[in-house]
Amino acid sequence: MSHASRRPTDRLLTVAEVAERLGTSERFPRRLIEERRITFVRLGRKVRIPESVLNDFIAAGLVPPITTRTRRAA
């Protein structure tokens, strides 16, 4: 998602909030930020992740289930 298309009312999440939402420690979102694998906002020394960016990150990781076909008896 480009910066221009992000909603102006997009909530900015702290690293702790992102970690809680992902069910991880704070180390994981900090690593995503350090490796520039997720878009973030720097406010002075503080770092925030827009909620829409986190939603896109989660959606990009979705893996569809494998469906098995049943065999017909010959």
Q: pLDDT at position 13, please? A: 98
Looking at residue 48, its pLDDT comes to 98
Domain ranges within the chain, ordered by starting residue: 13-60
Q: Is 67's pLDDT higher than 70?
A: yes
What is the SS3 assignment for 3?
coil
Residue 37's pLDDT is 96
Distance CA 72, CA 74 (A): 6
Cα–Cα distance between 16 and 9 in angstroms, integer?
A: 20
Gap between the Cα atoms of 50 and 11, Å rounded: 6
